[in-house]
Amino acid sequence: MSDITANTTLHSSSAARRAPVSLVGPMAWMKTNLFANWWSTAITLALGYLFIRTGVGFIDWAFVNAIWTVPVSPAGIANTEACREAKGVGACWAVIHEKHRFILFGTYPYDEHWRPLVVCFLFIGLYIVSAMRRFWRWELALIWAAVLTVIGVLMWGGVLGMTYVPQERWGGLPITLILATFGLAFAFPVAILVALGRRSNLPAIKALCVLYVELIRGVPLISLLFMASVMFPLFLPEGMNIDKLLRAQVAIILFAGAYLAEVVRAGLQALPKGQYEAADALGLSYWKKTGFIILPQALRLVIPPLVNTFIGFFKDTSLVLIIGIFDLLTAGKTAIIEPAWQGFGVEVYITLGLIYFLFCYAMSKYSAGLETELNKDRRR
Amino acid sequence: MSGVTDPRLERKAPPRPLRISWADQRFRNIIYQVLVVGAVLAVLYWLWSNTRYNLEVRRIATGWDFLWREAGLPIGESLIEYDPSMTYFRALQVGVLNTLKVAIIGIVLATILGTLLGVARLSKNWMLNKFAAAYVEIVRDLPLLLQLLFWYALLQGLPGPRQAFNPIEGVFLSNRGLKVPFFIWESAHSWALLAFVAGIAATYFYRRSARAKQYQDGQIRAIWPAALAFIVGAPLAVWAAMGAPFTPDIPALRGFNFRGGIDVSPEFFALLLGLTLYTAGFIAEIVRAGIQAVNQGQWEAAEALGLPRGRVMNLIVLPQAMRVIIPPMTSQFLNITKNSSLAVAIGYQDIVSIANTTLNQTGQAIEGIAIIMLVYLTISLSISLFMNWYNKRIALVER
Amino acid sequence: MSAAETLASSVRADAPPAISLKGVNKWFGALHVLRDVNLDVALGERVVVCGPSGSGKSTLIRCINRLEEHQEGQIIVDGIELSNDLRSLDAIRREVGMVFQSFNLFPHLTILENCTLAPIWVRKMPKKEADELAMEYLTRVRIPEQASKYPGQLSGGQQQRVAIARALCMKPKIMLFDEPTSALDPEMIKEVLDTMVMLAETGMTMICVTHEMGFARTVADRVIFMDRGEIVESGEPQSLFSNPQTERLQTFLSQILRGH
């Protein structure tokens, strides 16, 4: 062909130009994100005004006009007049100052408070270790068993020179952590069995599992806790008695088991059919197939929703307040029953909220991070 | 396939005989099931016999006779006529209605707030987006019970009726609850309400016939003028035709308390506030996920076809988003209903609270718990049945 | 492939250009994705755009029906300049059909409903007429028997052919193809390409982003090679492929040919 060059236009490579100023830089960012049009501008201004108003109001109340301590008489009765005068204007953080040990540890003997404190740190350590992917092995179950035993020893005492503390005197944050953690530890195996049962092709077993899951999920947790507190004693033979905390714990395990079972079942369903068939083709028995091939993959898939479910239980343990078990929320509520401190619920609930929030926020961030990480792995 | 088929092709597989042998999988399965069911039944029987024995020892009579005894239990707010001289059965009815009342109002409010927040979460306005994100994070990471107690404590900390907050004329917020103005309800209002409901139905049918006509001649007909006429115009006309009665009923301070207007008790108010704010956080995430689940490509394809944005939303995005949104949304509605049982902690008399009092007064523990569970199971099961039907109806057809 | 197998050109150089881009620039944030793009496409012309990934070719054709907004320069489609005016946007989108890499069929509508949606709601066509029109185009892409199925029940190649039929139902003057075969298995690529060749035979103005060099040789009046947001070379397929002028095109062609 002769007219190649005529037909082929060539462009000299022009250097990349910077975008016009109107497209980049902080001004452009504000233009697109805050003042894109009149509607967006109105929202920005209204919200900005609201934030500044409430922010200033809150700082005034919580810090500037707040009362941090009040005089306490030698008999241990606080003089809260200053707080009462500042009511509505300034927060009374003195109630936290005076009552924080009670809120955190309940009626646990004052001199032994280091023990529940260590227990709390052990729990947190346990969560952190469990959160790390390199510890996701079967040995993790052993670590859990060991730490939970140490926790039991610390709380009860009676050995190694520690005085014995009966369970009725436990309270506060350790109870919340115990209910949530033991609940998960025992509900998990139940959940796996129920989820497998619901997927099995044995009709009677499937029916039993469906019945259990649907019954529990159909009623509020409170009704199970009521059942635990008023009906369990009737269920047991005469002379056999289990204490209130354990009964509530059983109710929470039954409750958690049903919800976790549905999460695990979702993981089992998400696993490709080929995995089941490959395991069958290798001649593995049902339990070997489940233990070596199916569960390790299915559980990995559902870790983020499992963490979210756990956040739910962590929050739901506060319901034991209604049957009078001394968890963190109950301890907080009890702290303000004393006449001197009546009416300072808002301060106490804000403080309790901070504690719950720290735990739940950490877990939810972890779960979100894990989800993106696992998704990345899967895509690769 | 048609025509003559070979009869050999229609033969069914021969039934496999059951071998009574441990080597037969089917035989094994039967044994496993018998063992598991037997064990469960044995445990249940053990619990039941223990219970029967314990009841006998404690001289607790079982049965439902107590329902017809005089309750003698005072109830603060009730949708039906009630006084303590009525039966337990009546008291429990009041409880169920109170549960439904807070649940239904909560569902409506939480859906509205949650949808707004979910849309705000997708807003291009940074401030609005971050505000919604922070709201969702905070509300979901705090126990609902704590939030209820907080709101209740806040309401109780308000000044008494004499120093009540009075933000707008006729609205009073005090430690006795919320008072809002209303008007005296007359039959004209009931008829107008009826016309409103009929208007919604009429709009639905108008829309169907407009669509059918459009399919005939291709002309697109606007629905909103008819909708406005049916839903707003008709009730107003009915009300005006009946003499347009309107007697305002504005609350005012008389002595130590308020008279007139609508009374919202602090317990109900705190419960409703807590449930709504909490559940809205979850609904916001569902709405956001639902809208995001509709692929950007769907928007682009529809716009490339020349559909205007409003129609893209109506015809393409919403029908797809709703499939993703509705199932988790129903479970949130169910959660509101179940969570309304936390009422017992702040003294709002729902079914759990009243059944619990009944149980304490009569000692009928088993019956009391059974009533609570029955009420919730009925609600849950009816909603899940409906959901299963609905999901089947809208499921996307895939290969 | 010999010249005898290529399609006769249907370019109408006498008419004003169907699409005209003058000095078009576009940025994503600070990233300069289109640099001084000048391009005229005549009525009935078939243009294939190729280039390495990230070279801005998809962005270019997405600017033509304003799925993306350009920031500098002028784009005129069918005599209408693209601007923020929504009426001009509606007018252009009626005249320009688009086929996407990922099909983007509406999963909640049947194949027939996918095709009739825009005629009914944009062209205000009675349903019966729209149904007949859709069946005509579905027959032309050879899948009339799937009309009452849902997209999820079809293979990728079938879905892409439906997407082409859906765009054709609006009777567009110009068709844009954004890598229509990249998401398909090899055996399905042919059925989609055949459909596109058939469309080209009708004299449709087409801009097609694709790596299918065979298709470019058979169908294209002109091939445009883009790299780093600019048009580096353009010309007749035969000459461009056999005698690349720039190193960038040489590298690209050697990679493409090695890959196939």
Tokens representing B269 are: 């108010």
Of B33, B47, B131, the CB nearest to A235: B47
CB atoms within 10 A of CB B8: 6
CB contact under 8 A, B304 and C97: yes
CB contact under 8 A, C122 and B316: no
pLDDT of residue A9: 46
pLDDT of residue C209: 94
CB contact under 8 A, C235 and A16: no
Q: Which pLDDT tens digit goes with each residue over A245-284?
A: 889 999 999 999 999 999 999 888 888 888 888 888 887 8
Distance from CA of A197 to the nearest CA of B (A): 11
Tell me which of B305, B307, B397 to substitute to probe the interface with C (most C C-beta atoms closer than 10 Å). B305
Which residue type occupies A144? W
Of B297, B311, B399, the CB nearest to C100: B297
Band (pLDDT 50/70/90 cuts) for residue B313 is confident
Average pLDDT of C140-168? 92
Task: Please tell me the number of Cα atoms within 13 Å of C120 on its side-chain side.
Answer: 23
CB contact under 8 A, B397 and C153: yes
Which residues have a Cβ under 8 Å from the Cβ of C11 and sit 6 or more positions away? C42, C43, C44, C45, C221
Residues of chain C with pLDDT > 70: what percent? Answer: 97
CB contact under 8 A, A220 and B131: no
Give C229's contacts in chain A (Cβ within 8 Å).
16
> Residue holding tokens 């609201």?
A50
Give B324's contacts in chain C (Cβ within 8 Å).
none
pLDDT of residue B377: 92
Q: What angle do CA C84, C87, C90 make, to 5 degrees?
A: 100
Average pLDDT of C73-77? 91
Residues B191, B211 contacting (CB under 8 angstroms):
no
Going from the C-alpha of A132 to that of each of A129, A351, B162, B358, C174, the distances in angstroms are 5, 29, 58, 49, 56
Of B219, B301, B306, the CB nearest to C104: B301
The b/e string for C17-50 (b: 16+ C-beta within 10 A; e otherwise) is bbbbbeebbbbeeeebbbbbbebebbbbbbbbbb
Instruction: Please state the pTM of the whole predicted model.
Output: 0.84
Band (pLDDT 50/70/90 cuts) for residue B110 is very high
What's the mean pLDDT when you consider all of chain C? Answer: 88
Q: Helix A38-59 and helix B126-140: axis angle, to 10°?
A: 50
Residue C3 is given by DSSP the state G
pLDDT of residue B203: 93
Per-residue pLDDT for A380 more than 80? no
Give C90's contacts in chain B (Cβ within 8 Å).
306, 308
Q: Which pLDDT tens digit goes with each residue over B122-155?
A: 888 899 999 999 999 999 999 999 999 999 988 8
Q: Does the CB of A234 have a partner CB in chain B at under 8 Å?
A: yes
Tell me which of A223, A236, A355 to substitute to probe the interface with B (most B C-beta atoms closer than 10 Å). A223
Tell me which of A280, A349, A360 to substitute to probe the interface with B (most B C-beta atoms closer than 10 Å). A349
Of B218, B297, B301, the CB nearest to C124: B218
As a whole number of angstroms, the distance between CA A321 and CA A325 comes to 6
Which residues have a Cβ under 8 Å from the Cβ of C230 and sit 6 or more positions away? A11, A13, A14, C34, C35, C36, C37, C56
Higher pLDDT, B57 or A127: A127
Q: Which pLDDT tens digit goes with each residue over B239-282?
A: 999 888 888 888 877 777 777 778 888 899 999 999 999 999 99
Average pLDDT of A359-363? 91
Distance from CA of B326 to the nearest CA of C (A): 15
Task: Please tell me the number of Cα atoms within 13 Å of B389 on its side-chain side.
Answer: 6
pLDDT of residue B9: 62
- B264: Cα separation from own chain's centroid: 20
Q: Does the CB of C48 have a partner CB in chain A at under 8 Å?
A: no
pLDDT of residue A21: 63
CB pairs under 8 A between B and C: 90
Q: Does the CB of B393 have a partner CB in chain C at under 8 Å?
A: no
As a whole number of angstroms, the distance between CA A110 and CA A164 comes to 13
pLDDT of residue C1: 40
CB pairs under 8 A between A and B: 161
Q: State ipTM.
A: 0.86
Distance from CA of C80 to the nearest CA of A (A): 26
Average pLDDT of A72-90? 77
Higher pLDDT, A203 or A86: A203
Which residue type occupies A87? K
Give C129's contacts in chain B (Cβ within 8 Å).
218
CB contact under 8 A, B376 and A219: yes
Give C167's contacts in chain B (Cβ within 8 Å).
304-305
Per-residue pLDDT for B1 more than 50? no
Band (pLDDT 50/70/90 cuts) for residue A378 is low
CB contact under 8 A, C230 and A13: yes
User: A102, A141, A108, A144: which is closest to A123 by C-alpha?
Assistant: A144
Q: Does the CB of A10 have a partner CB in chain C at under 8 Å?
A: yes
For residue C48, give the 3-state DSSP assignment. Answer: strand
Band (pLDDT 50/70/90 cuts) for residue A3 is very low
Which residues have a Cβ under 8 Å from the Cβ of A98 and sit 6 or more positions away? A70, A72, A78, A341
Band (pLDDT 50/70/90 cuts) for residue A305 is confident
Residue C68 is given by DSSP the state S
User: A293, A213, A199: which is closest to A255 by C-alpha?
Assistant: A213
